[in-house]
Chain A
Amino acid sequence: MEHLILRDLDISDIDRIEVYEKHGGYSAFRKAVKEMAPDQVTDAVKVSGLRGRGGAGFPAGVKWSFLPKGVFPRYLVANADESEPGTFKDRQIMERNPHQFIEGMAIASYAIQCHHAFIYIRGEFPHAAQCLERAIAQAEARGYLGEKILGTDYALRITVHRGAGAYICGEETALLESMEGKLGQPRVKPPFPAVVGLYNKPTVINNVETLANVPLIIERGADWYAKIGTAKSTGPKIFCLSGHVNRPGNYEAPFGSISLRDLIFDLGGGIRGGKKLKAILPAGASSFVINPAANEAVLDAKLDFESLTPFGSALGSASVIVMDDATCMVWMAKKTSHFFEHESCGKCTPCREGTYWMARLLDRIDSGAGTLADIDLLANVANQILGKTLCPLGDFSTAPVTSSVKAFREEYERHVKERGCWARK
């Protein structure tokens, strides 16, 4: 099947602008600025049903239409701070098919009448940043960016802004703080970025993959696009498959077209080393862990934004981390807790103190020094964080903990009884 986003898999050298142009590149942007009014572009994206690929799945066109009328300048910021463990889809787009993303940014900028757009890219992606800067320079040379674009009065600059290494800066308001040169800490919402965003101006923040979908909608039509995927989750989606599988990598498929079983055993070639599937984190470290043994049906649910909800989990950014039966779930929870403890910005109490506390508890249980009461305490501390934090990071940190205690409680108890980790014995 033809790739719509990961086109680099079909067309080599599509990162070169002339190759991209030869395959229809920038014709969508040309159509938008020359033939469409900005509101028409936004309406097309609304009709297409395009939902944000960063994890929350908020409709992109609706987000664009939240900007208060008549307040300028306004900004578009592409969130390229791809930091969720197990997520590497934006990186492939930016390194190998950057123009589709740049074109999407240009169309989105035109739709919201932004004249200076930014890409906030994580500092650990220096190569991707260079690819983008090269692509932007090529687009400027071809007149797609700059002043008087394609003979119109529209002007647009795109600036690549490198982050300095903080997971929290993927949270949109912390991202804005970081862009403004401040400590990366989330802001209180409301006001939302659409009203008070970058430099206190109306701002749209979209994920890289989301923006890479936009040229398809303009070029081939919103109706065409809406037919891909399911009624509520339209379009193609990139699934990041990692962990104990034979063929990890990015796999593009329409929403609702493949199941976890398809992804892991068909596309991914099954579990590595002939071992058995034990657990799945479908949305990176921020997941509720799935125990397929408890309910096999979860493996056959066709993946979209809502299909995992009945199984107590969620798709998020579709960063599917697969674990085999040699993997300890306490160790897994310890790893995610250490990650969130390290990445908590420290601004609000429950997250700052709670992630620290959970990490200590998991250290204790994992090392064999824990008690049965510690297991309940761990779940209790997690629930004490839940729902009380300033931004979603605190809630995310509890998901693998509470879900693993619930789904794999006997493994926690085994650590207490055997005074240590069975997997490392």
Chain B
Amino acid sequence: MPQVTIDNKKVEVPNGTLIVEAAKKVGVEIPVFCYHPKLQPVGMCRMCLVEVGTPKRGKDGQIELDANGAPAIAWMPKLQTACTTVVSDGMTVRTDTAQVADARRAIVEFLLTSHPLDCPICDKGGECPLQNLTMAYGPGQSRFPVESKFHNAKRVPLGDLIMLDRERCIQCSRCVRFQDEIADDHVLGFAARGRGLEIVTLSDPPFDSKFSGNTIDICPVGALTSRDFRLSARVWEVRDYPSVCAHCSVGCNILIGERDHAIKRIVPRENASVNEIWTCDKGRFVHHFTVAPDRLTTPLVRKNGNLEPATWNEALDLVASRFKEIKWHDPNAIGGLAGDRASNEDLYLFQKLFRQVIGSNNLDHRVGWSVTNTGADSVRVYGAGVGTNLGALDQNVTALVFGADPEEEQPVIRLRLKRSARTFGANLIVANGRVTKLAKYAKQSLVYQYGAEAYFLLGLIRAILDERLENRDFIATRVQNFDAFATSLEPYTVERCAEICHVKPEKIRDAARQIAQSPNFLILYGREAMFAQQNDVAVARALAALLLITGHLGRANNGLVALYPHNNSTGAIDFGVLPDGGVGRTRVERRGLSAREMLGRSNERPSMRALYVMACDPAADGNFVKPEFLVVQDLFLTETARLADVVLPAQSFAERDGTFTNTERRAQLFRAALKPIGEAKPDWWIIAEIAKRLVSGLQFQVSGSQVSGNLKPETWNYATASAVMDEIAATVSLYKGMTYAALAENVKLPRPRSGQGNPSEQPTEIAMGELENISSGKVWASVAESDARAKFELVWSEPSRPLTADSRPLTLAVARSLYDGGTLVSKTQIVQARVPAPFVEINSQDAEQLGIADGARVRVSFDMRVIELDARVDGHVPPDAVLIPNNLDGTAALPMGARVKIEKV
């Protein structure tokens, strides 16, 4: 490793290290504007100029010594940029000389000649690198007359979310490089030249990227501002609270910036294992629901047919007495539906209430989407090893991304996998029924026929076995039922499978070889794969088999990652909000009813007498019949709440503490940032209050006989969310030790801004990666890694579709749009332009046959339902498939895999 001397401090750094990074290691700050540790250096701003010398060598190649016997230094005639110069052994750098100070003063002075200096009305003021470096290195006085200033446009909407001030811009190109290198959405660029050089958007619609907000954070001046936060607060008045994004299952770490009891802005908080220093625009901007005027502020009770405000006692007593009454007749007449947006604490207590107090297993969280037991169990057993970092998979890792569309569903995962592939050389195999944005990073992109997923996977397995590439040692010692499995696979030749799933046999064989021969192998499967599993259990079994026959499990960078749709889908499964799954992914003996069974069909009598609906809206999907007694606990008066007998106002994630478990099974802590809206309470508190009331009554009823521990009211006394987690950490083995204290490790706030905390500290900059790759949160270990001797069984399932290559009518594929038509998104006005109108994607061949042009209005019929949509004719869906995002206006609850008919309106 080269040794370099910086201001007389010696440091050894890896080959290829830039001077600016080496200097950080010895505590020497080299000021920068254009340089950013996450971006390629460009040497544009010239702020980092330093003196650089290398050992002087004589004609014989030997290093010459000076009078003191130290190596003589040959200084380069000009100052060099520390951000582009790579260190070499023996290099000497001086940053503390008059020449360097002059250069810094010169650059700052130059930058300020055209800068408008409108700091008093600039959003960046207070956390602005230009301000900070001017204070530290700039000249005290201006020599540039104000009337000579270069003027440019000050309010340029660069896109729906970002405003550009061309006068403030210092042409550092961080935004352009972020879009090109990190987001890989090439939508920004420079136009013109000289002093007129300016940032422009190259896309239509403008700034068409789901990551545009990150450019605000990395802009070293106030040129790029959030059209949401703009001019609404000074940053030093904003207090930051560490939180976790409540949208998708990535669980990006965020800081909620609060002022006057409202969220002023959300910025990413660094977590090297989850989101680095990025977040998507949905996570950043879709927060206005927290203070929406139509938030529920008091409990509501139905009186004379109308929902009327009520006290908490009145509402809770009513819920408890009605539950008690119905339970007296039949505990199984009460069902619970809890959305997977609720926290772990809420979900844990919800199922505890049903299982231990009410005595019903009629519990489910799967409203509007689906996970199968087999799929969930696979994650418990084969879940990717602790230490897997999806953004740092290298050339020793092959990852099969199966039936997933991270760009729309887990946007930051798309960035992470792109980084793995492009920066570290991970081998991605992307397989789906259509071409998604992720495909361009794949060494192999495979498009299979929707509905034939099982055949695609069986083809891979068969190809591995055909070439004797299976891990025989692992199979011999750890896997049961291999021979029977192999026998069942006999008729499924690679060629047959290929014919049915429409992937060429040589491509299947090639992918199979890479999977089997790679030192590490991960499977990431998304919602389209989960739909496939729901339709065909063979899909889940085959995914497990792929891991088992290759022995790729039980360690980091191996195993299964389920890309779930929501922020706490994993927690909902972990805490047993399932008819047949208990706390800690255990099995319950007596299976209850699923959501689908509880809700029934519109023409049936509801199977439940009472339903407790928390944080979900089953009525929004249609076909909802109100049971005798309906309790809804939510932020808003949802479709379901409108029908309820009692409505209980819950607090949003921003008003309370809690934990979410993300898609890689990482439990993460979020903290209250806002004061509660009205009388809203945390979900866990409401559940506990209902439980206490039920238990005291039950105690009375069963007085004299033995009262079990959980029926004592004191077992439901939780002062805080943290106390609920303490109980979880003590009793649920997967979450052993995951107290708030443990989960708060490495959760750091950035350095305080002036006006907050210790004023002697340097003012902070957002998103400089200054916290040096910290990770926080805790991932629970799968069976494969916690039990080194565990045996695994290969289970054979016939694919539900027969082994024939039939020609199918149009098959419905269901996708999702990041910006959806849901309640939360609808409260953020600024993103509405980003929400697409409902559409159906059709392959150009099919469209031609049907006489449908791009943009035409079409009627789509399936399962006795008819909807009208705009057609998009493009190359993303293969022939015989049509794709509809199911979370846009009027497209809820679409059946994946249904046969559809399309005609022109």
Kindly list chain B residues whose C-beta atoms are within 8 Å of the C-beta of A352: 110, 171, 194-195, 197
Closest CB in chain A relative to B167 CB, distance in Å: 13
**Complex Cα spacing A355 to B196, Å:** 12
Q: Is B195 touching A341 in the complex (CB atoms < 8 A)?
A: yes
Binds B, one of A16-24, A212-220, A385-393: A385-393
* In the assembled complex, B865 has its CB within 8 A of some CB on chain A: no
Minimum CB distance partner of A373 in chain B:
B143
Q: Is B110 touching A384 in the complex (CB atoms < 8 A)?
A: yes
Contacts known (A188-B84, A349-B170, A377-B143); A356 close to B113, Cβ less than 8 A: yes
**Complex Cα spacing A347 to B196, Å:** 11
Minimum CB distance partner of B41 in chain A:
A188
Count residues on chain B whose CB falls below 8 Å from chain A CBs. Answer: 35
Closest CB in chain A relative to B119 CB, distance in Å: 19
Q: Is B111 touching A353 in the complex (CB atoms < 8 A)?
A: yes
Q: Is B42 touching A346 in the complex (CB atoms < 8 A)?
A: no
* In the assembled complex, B144 has its CB within 8 A of some CB on chain A: yes
Kindly list chain B residues whose C-beta atoms are within 8 Å of the C-beta of A184: 193
Closest CB in chain A relative to B115 CB, distance in Å: 10
Minimum CB distance partner of B107 in chain A:
A349
Contacts known (A357-B144, A384-B109, A388-B49); A346 close to B170, Cβ less than 8 A: no
Q: Is A349 touching B79 in the complex (CB atoms < 8 A)?
A: no
Q: Is A390 touching B46 in the complex (CB atoms < 8 A)?
A: yes
* In the assembled complex, A95 has its CB within 8 A of some CB on chain B: no
**Complex Cα spacing A185 to B78, Å:** 21
Interface 0/1 of B73-116, CB less than 8 Å to A: 00000110100100000000000000000010011011101100
Closest CB in chain A relative to B411 CB, distance in Å: 28
* In the assembled complex, A345 has its CB within 8 A of some CB on chain B: yes
Closest CB in chain A relative to B771 CB, distance in Å: 28
Q: Is A348 touching B189 in the complex (CB atoms < 8 A)?
A: no
Q: Among the listed B41, B144, B170, B189, which residue makes an inter-chain contact with A183, where contact means beta carbons less than 8 Å apart? A: B189
Minimum CB distance partner of A377 in chain B:
B143
Query: In chain B between 153 and 176, which residues have their CB closer than 8 angstroms to a CB of chain A?
Result: 170-171
**Complex Cα spacing A183 to B49, Å:** 25
* In the assembled complex, B328 has its CB within 8 A of some CB on chain A: no
**Complex Cα spacing A355 to B110, Å:** 10
* In the assembled complex, B474 has its CB within 8 A of some CB on chain A: no
* In the assembled complex, B451 has its CB within 8 A of some CB on chain A: no
Q: Is A353 touching B195 in the complex (CB atoms < 8 A)?
A: yes
Query: In chain B between 330 and 361, which residues have their CB closer than 8 angstroms to a CB of chain A?
Result: none
Q: Among the listed B110, B114, B190, which residue makes an inter-chain contact with A350, where contact means beta carbons less than 8 Å apart? A: B110
* In the assembled complex, B192 has its CB within 8 A of some CB on chain A: yes
**Complex Cα spacing A247 to B192, Å:** 38
Q: Among the listed A341, A346, A348, which residue makes an inter-chain contact with B43, where contact means beta carbons less than 8 Å apart? A: A348
Closest CB in chain A relative to B49 CB, distance in Å: 6
Minimum CB distance partner of A182 in chain B:
B189
* In the assembled complex, B44 has its CB within 8 A of some CB on chain A: yes
Query: In chain A between 171 and 223, which residues have their CB closer than 8 angstroms to a CB of chain B?
Result: 183-185, 188
Q: Is A356 touching B103 in the complex (CB atoms < 8 A)?
A: no
* In the assembled complex, B150 has its CB within 8 A of some CB on chain A: yes
* In the assembled complex, B45 has its CB within 8 A of some CB on chain A: yes
Looking at A166, A353, A357, A360, the one whose CB has the most chain B CB atoms below 10 A away is A353
Contacts known (A341-B195, A350-B106); A356 close to B114, Cβ less than 8 A: yes
Kindly list chain A residues whose C-beta atoms are within 8 Å of the C-beta of B62: none
* In the assembled complex, B148 has its CB within 8 A of some CB on chain A: yes
Kindly list chain B residues whose C-beta atoms are within 8 Å of the C-beta of A384: 106, 109-110
Minimum CB distance partner of B108 in chain A:
A349
Kindly list chain B residues whose C-beta atoms are within 8 Å of the C-beta of A341: 194-195
Q: Is A346 touching B195 in the complex (CB atoms < 8 A)?
A: yes
Query: In chain A between 325 and 362, which residues have their CB closer than 8 angstroms to a CB of chain B?
Result: 341-350, 352-357, 360
Minimum CB distance partner of A384 in chain B:
B106
Q: Is A347 touching B148 in the complex (CB atoms < 8 A)?
A: no
Kindly list chain A residues whose C-beta atoms are within 8 Å of the C-beta of B171: 346-347, 349, 352
Closest CB in chain B relative to A124 CB, distance in Å: 16
**Complex Cα spacing A395 to B860, Å:** 67
Kindly list chain A residues whose C-beta atoms are within 8 Å of the C-beta of B114: 353, 356
Query: In chain B between 168 and 220, which residues have their CB closer than 8 angstroms to a CB of chain A?
Result: 170-171, 189-197
Q: Among the listed B81, B143, B193, which residue makes an inter-chain contact with A166, where contact means beta carbons less than 8 Å apart? A: B193
The 4 closest A-B pairs by CB, nearest first: A346-B197, A353-B110, A384-B106, A344-B194
> Given contacts A188-B84, A352-B171, A353-B114, could you give 10 more A-B pairs where the C-beta distance is less than 8 Å?
A183-B189, A183-B191, A188-B42, A342-B194, A346-B171, A346-B190, A352-B197, A354-B110, A357-B113, A384-B106
Can you give 14 contacting A-B residue pairs, CB < 8 Å?
Answer: A183-B191, A344-B193, A346-B192, A346-B196, A347-B171, A349-B47, A350-B106, A350-B110, A352-B195, A353-B110, A377-B143, A387-B79, A388-B46, A390-B44
